[in-house]
Amino acid sequence: MAHIQPNQQSEEHRNAIASHVQRLIMKCFSYEVFAFGSVPLKTYLPYGNIDLTAFSSNHNVKDCWAFKMRDILESEGKNEEAEFHVKEVQCIQSEVKSIKCLVENIVVDISFNQLGGLCTLCFLEEIDNLIRRNHIFKRIIILIKAWCYYESCLLGASHGLISTYALETLVLYIFNVYNNTFAGPLEVLYQFPEFFNKFDWDNYCLSLWGPVPISSLPNIRTQPPVESMCIKTREKAHDRSHARAWKFLIVPCSMQVKLGGRPGVE
């Protein structure tokens, strides 16, 4: 874990890069820019990218923001005196339009008005605070992400593989089933492939609250997990998390991306 988990040096480096890109954007646009994803959650791997999203009350820029931001980053890439070197700027035309670039060989993804990423970050932080135990939830995410990426070649939404968000959903589901009784991250890593290898992916997909019959889509109707629907903690904490989980639960535009199909395919 010591070799793959975030450390002070890597955190400072990524935060400095994120701040640099934020300043570039805010210098030219009246946008608010926030980081989300694995960097502020502190669950990134050594290769991990930086996710930023820009917010503006001016919805007229929805169709042109990406091209303007691309021009700014390309101009910064030509600045030989820049604090950080920006290169390989791309405009990604997908369901969620984004700008991708390399800053000091770290991938930076920039999106626009994507509130869902911030909601997911808040939700996962709430879960980690609820479970506690020296951030075991985050440590398990790091370990299983490393196994999926380095050993099993399962992780990487851009390559048609499982997304980090889907992986975090699977980890949280394991916690729900086993009631947070794990001794440590290695025990979860042992249970993870065995459990989901036996899951009925032909007839069910998986949500934070349990299996969802594929036949019930798009009207989501969950089934209880194997043992318990929720992490067993004090009643007050349970009630609070139960309410907030629904508050922060994201229903994606594409069911196939977040809920449907096998976990290895996005």
Side-chain half-sphere CA neighbours of 231 within 13 A: 26
With the C-alpha atoms ordered 190, 193, 197, 201, is the resulting torsion angle positive or negative? Answer: positive
pLDDT band (50, 70, 90) for residue 182: confident
Is residue 63 over pLDDT 90?
Answer: no
Comparing CA positions, the residue from 78, 110, 74 lying closest to residue 92 is 110
Tokens of 225: 């997990």
Tokens of 102: 């390399």
Specify the 3-state DSSP secondary structure of 247.
helix
**Least confident segment among 30-39, 81-90, 167-176:** 167-176
Cα separation, 148 vs 264, whole angstroms? 10
Sequence-distant (6+) residues with CB within 8 A of 101 are 73, 77, 86, 87, 88, 89, 90, 107, 108, 110
Sequence-distant (6+) residues with CB within 8 A of 90 are 70, 99, 100, 101
**Least confident segment among 83-92, 138-147, 175-184, 222-231:** 222-231
Tokens of 215: 């036949």
> Tell me, what's the pLDDT at 18?
95
Q: What is the pLDDT of residues 197-218, one digit of tens each?
A: 888 888 888 887 788 888 887 7
pLDDT band (50, 70, 90) for residue 240: very low
> Tell me, what's the pLDDT at 226?
54
**Portion of the chain with pLDDT greater than 70, in percent:** 82
| Alpha carbon 186 to chain centroid, angstroms | 22
Specify the 3-state DSSP secondary structure of 91.
strand
φ, ψ (nearest 5 deg) of residue 120: -65, -45
> Tell me, what's the pLDDT at 49?
92
